[in-house]
Structure 1
Amino acid sequence: MAKDIGIDLGTANVLINVKGKGIVLNEPSVVAIDTKTGKVLAVGTEAYRMVGRTPGNIRSIRPLKDGVIADFDITEAMLEYFINKLDVKGVLSKPNILICAPTNITSIEQKAIIQAAEKSGGRKVYLEFEPKVAAVGAGLDIFQPQGNMVIDIGGGTADVAVLSMGEIVTSRSLRLAGDRMDAAIVAYVKNKHKLLIGEHTAEKIKIEIGAVYDADPEETIEVRGRDIATGLPREVEVTAAEVEEALHETMLAIVGAAKEVLEQTPPELSADIIDRGIMLTGGGALLKGISQLFASELKVPVLLADAPLDAVALGTGTLLDNIAHHKQY
C-alpha cells in the first residue's frame, strides 16, 4: 500500500513528510545536468555542492524561481528522484500527495505544480497555500473562528496571511525572500568591499551572522572572494551591522506587506491577533532580531515557530491526516 506524502516544494529546499514517519527528506532544490546530453547527473545535496563549481558542460539548475516552477521537466525529474528514493509507492498503488504553493500564484502556475506532482508518481494531488500549511505546522489552530496571522519567509517568497475557520481571510505574497537577501549581500560586498562573492558564500554570511535589527557590530565573519580591481583572491571581514544594512530594503518590503494585510483585516480578527500575536515561520525567521523588528514596526507581539524551517512540511502531515479521515473544512 502506498504511503501518502506531503511536499514542501520550496525554491531553496524540498522537504517531504511521509504519513506515519514524519519528515524523511530535506534536500536543496537543485538539479545538475549535462548540457550536451540533457542527462540528469545529480539531484539535491550532491547537485548543490556543484553550484558555481562546474565545468562548462555541466549546469546546476534550480528549477523553481520565486516559489513557482521555472523549468517543468527538471522539476518533474527532481520530484520523481526524491519520491523514488523514499520508496513510498505500493506494488499496485501510488501515493496521494499534498503539495504547497505561495498564495499569489496564477491558476496556470497551480496547474503546473499539480501536473509535476502527478507525473512524478502521485495518485491524487492536493494543493494548499503555504501560509495556511505553515500555520498548522507551527501549532496554530486555524480551524476555530478566531484570527491567526502568519509570516512565512522562505527562499523564493515571503507570504503573509491572516487565517480563520481554516481559510485565508487576507494575504500578500512577495516574490522576494531568502534568495533576494543573498543577492543583496552579494551586491553589498561588491560595492562596499570591491569583492566578488558567490551565492554559497552570501548564504553562509546570512546564516552565520545575518541580522535585521540592532545588529552587534562586533560580530564578524571572514569572507573570501575575487578582488574586482586585481582579479586575485582576497579576504575581507564583514560585520553583522553591514549585513543588516544589506538586508534593510528587503525587510522593509516584507514589513510593508504585513502592514497592508493588517490594514485589510476585519476588526474582530485584528483584536485576536493583538491577543495571540503573529507567528514567524520559514528560514528567514532565523535571522537575528527579526521578531523584534516586526514587533516594533507592527506594534503586535511576534512569536517564532519552534521549528521554522520545518513548519510547512510538518503542516502537510497534519493536513494529510485530516484528508485521510475525510474531514471537511
Structure 2
Amino acid sequence: MSVDIGIDLGTASVLVYVKGKGVILKEPSVVAFDRDTNSIKAIGEEARLMLGRTPGNIVAVRPLRQGVISDYTVTEKMIKYFVQKAMGRRTFKKPRISICVPSGVTEVERKAVEEATYAAGAREVLLIEEPVAAAIGAGIDISKPCGNMIVDIGGGTADIAVISLGGTVVNTSIKIAGDDFDEAIVRYIRKKHNLLIGDQTAEDIKIKIGTTYPLVEEETMEVRGRNLVTGLPKTITVTSSETEEAFRDATGQIVNAVIGVLEKTPPELSADILDRGIMLTGGGAMLRGLEELIGEKTGINTMTAEEPMKVVAIGTGQYVEFMAGRRDF
C-alpha cells in the first residue's frame, strides 16, 4: 500500500495532497518549541495562535523564510508531522513525496528540501518548480507547445514563469509576496498613525479591506495596537485606500517582474499569452485588485485560478501522473 503525496511547502502554510483524496490538509507552517527542553510544543494552526503571544521559554517560529528552509531540524520535524497526519498511522510502505520549491532556489537549497523530506520518511522525493505545479493544478495542459504565463504569489516568494511543453521557458522568482504585504501595512500604520500593530493584525487588515487597486466604495476597519507616543493601547480606523497606498511599492515590484519576464519571452509564446491571458495563483493572488492592476499595466487579460491557495498542492500531487502520461510516447 504505497501512497503518493504532494506537499506545497510554503512560507506561510503547508498543504498536503493525497492521490485520490485531494487536498486533505492545510495548516500554517509555524512550529512552537520550548527552548529549555528543546521539545516541540505545537505545530500548525495551534502554533500560529501563539505567534507574538508566548512567554520567554516558548518560541513560535516559521522554519521557512522566503520559500527556503531557514531551520533544517524544525522543518524536518514539521514535514514528518504533516505526512503522518495526512496518512494516518496505518501505513506499511514509505510514501513517494512530490514537493515544490520556488523557481529561483539554488542547488544547496534544493538539496536541503530533498534531504529534509527523505529524513521525514519518504521513499522517493520529486522536486517540482512552483509555477509548473501551479499550472498543472489550475487545469492547464502544459504538455502542448503553447505559451502559458503563471504568476504564483505565495507567502515568501512570487514566482513568474512562461511554461510550454511541460517546462519553464522564462522565469523569475522575487522575494516579494504575502509577508511583505503584511510588513508594508505594519510600516505604514506606524509611520502615519504612530501605532504599532502585530503581524496577525496586519494580515487581518490585508484580508478584510486590503486592495491594490482603488475600490469604487471605500471600506474601513477598526484596528487596535499600541500608541508609540503614549505607550498605551489605542484604536484607530484604517481605510482601504490606505492599504492601496501601503502596498504600492510591493505591487510595483511584482508588476515590474511580470513585465521583465514578458520582455524575455520568445515572440511566438508572447502571442499565445496575449490570447490566453495571465493566470494568478497562490494565496497572494487573493488580494483584491491584483488582476486589474496587472491587466492595466501589461494590457493582457489577467485572471485568478479557481482555488488559488490549493492549485500548487494539487499540481504537485498530480505531477507524478502527468510525467507518467508523458513517458508513454
The residue that corresponds to 1:100 in the other structure is 100
134-143 or 146-155, larger mean C-alpha shift: 134-143
- The equivalent of 1:245 in structure 2 is 245
CA distance in 1, matches of 2:312, 2:184: 26
SS at match of 1:140: coil
Task: List aligned pairs for 1:228-243, cutoff 5 A.
Answer: 228-243=228-243
Report how far residue 328 of structure 1 moved: 6.7
TM-score (norm 2): 0.97
SS in 2 for 1:11: coil
Instruction: Give 3-state SS (helix, strand or coil) of 1:104's partner.
Output: coil
Matched residue, 1:39 = 39
Structure 1 140/75 Cα, relative in aligned 2: closer, same or farther at 3 Å? Answer: same
Any conservation in 1 of the 2:182–2:202 contact (CA below 8 Å)? yes
Unpaired segments ≥5 residues, structure 2: none
Aligned pairs for 1:57-72 (under 5 A) are 57-72=57-72
Counterpart secondary structure, 1:297:
helix
Give secondary structure in 1 for the equivalent of 2:226.
Answer: strand
Contact 1:217 1:239 in 2 (8 A): no
| Residues in 2 aligned to 1:326 and 1:18: alpha-carbon distance in whole angstroms | 21
Equivalent in the alignment of 1:169:
169
Give the direction of change, closer, same or farther, for the CA distance of 1:328–1:175 in structure 2 (3 Å limit).
farther
Q: TM-score, normalised to structure 1's length? A: 0.97
Match of 1:258 in 2: 258
**How much has 1:218 moved relative to structure 2?**
2.2
Quote the Cα distance in structure 2 between the aligned partners of 1:283 and 1:297: 21
State the match for 2:307 in structure 1: 307
Aligned to 2:196: 196
Measured after TM superposition, the shift of residue 320 of structure 1 is 2.7
For 1:285, the equivalent position in structure 2 comes to: 285
Shift, 1:306, TM fit: 0.6
Quote the residue 1:114 is aligned against. Answer: 114
CA contact (8 A) 2:16 2:86 kept: no
**Structure 1 alignment gaps of length 5 or more:** none
Aligned equivalents of 1:305, 1:320: Cα separation in 2: 21
* Shift of residue 217, structure 1, vs aligned partner: 6.0
- Shift of the 91–275 alpha-carbon distance from structure 1 to 2, 3 Å rule, reads closer
Query: CA separation in 2, counterparts of 1:268 and 1:85?
Result: 46
Distance 2:216 2:27 in 1: 31
Report how far residue 216 of structure 1 moved: 4.7
Matched, 1:143 2:143: yes
In the alignment, the residues of structure 2 paired with residue 148 and residue 89 of structure 1 have an alpha-carbon distance, to the nearest angstrom, of 40
3-state SS of paired residue (1:181): helix
Once superposed, what is the RMSD of the aligned Cα atoms? Answer: 1.4
| Matching residue of 2:124 | 124
Structure 1 residue 83, shift from structure 2 partner = 1.0
* Counterpart residue number, 2:21: 21
Query: Could you say what secondary structure the match of 2:25 adopts?
Result: strand
User: Are the equivalent residues in 1 in contact too, given 2:10–2:67 (CA < 8 A)?
Assistant: yes
The residue identity in structure 2 corresponding to 1:95 is P
Asked if the contact 1:216–1:240 (Cα under 8 Å) also holds between the matched residues in 2, the reply is no
In the alignment of these two chains, the number of paired residues is 329
Stretch of structure 1 that moved more, 43-52 or 310-319 = 310-319
Inter-partner Cα distance in structure 2 for 1:262 and 1:273 = 9
CA contact (8 A) 1:2 1:88 kept: no
Letter in 2 for 1:152: D
- 1-structure distance, mates of 2:15, 2:209: 25
Structure 1 equivalent of residue 75 of structure 2: 75
Partner deviation per Cα, 1:45-101 (whole Å, 9 max, x = no partner): 000000011100000010000000000000001111111112357654100000000
Contact 2:262 2:270 in 1 (8 A): yes
Contact 1:32 1:50 in 2 (8 A): yes
Cα distance in 1 for residues equivalent to 2:95 and 2:277: 37
Task: Tell me the CA shift for residue 142 of structure 1.
Answer: 1.0
Q: 1 CA distance for matches of 2:229 and 2:159?
A: 40
What SS class does the counterpart of residue 170 from structure 1 fall into?
strand
Contact 1:6–1:320, Cα closer than 8 Å, also in 2: no
Cα–Cα, structure 1 residues 100 and 44, in superposed 2: closer, same or farther, change >3 Å?
Answer: same
Secondary structure at the aligned position of 1:172 is classed as: strand
CA drift at 1:215? 3.0
Q: How far apart, in 2, do the equivalents of 1:233 and 1:72 lie?
A: 38
Q: Which runs of 4+ in 1 moved over 4 A?
A: 88-91, 323-326
Deviation at 1:8? 0.1
State the AA in 2 paired with 1:71.
D
Deviation at 1:115, TM superposition (A): 0.6
CA contact (8 A) 2:4 2:317 kept: no
Work out the CA distance in 1 between the residues paired with 2:184 and 2:277.
29
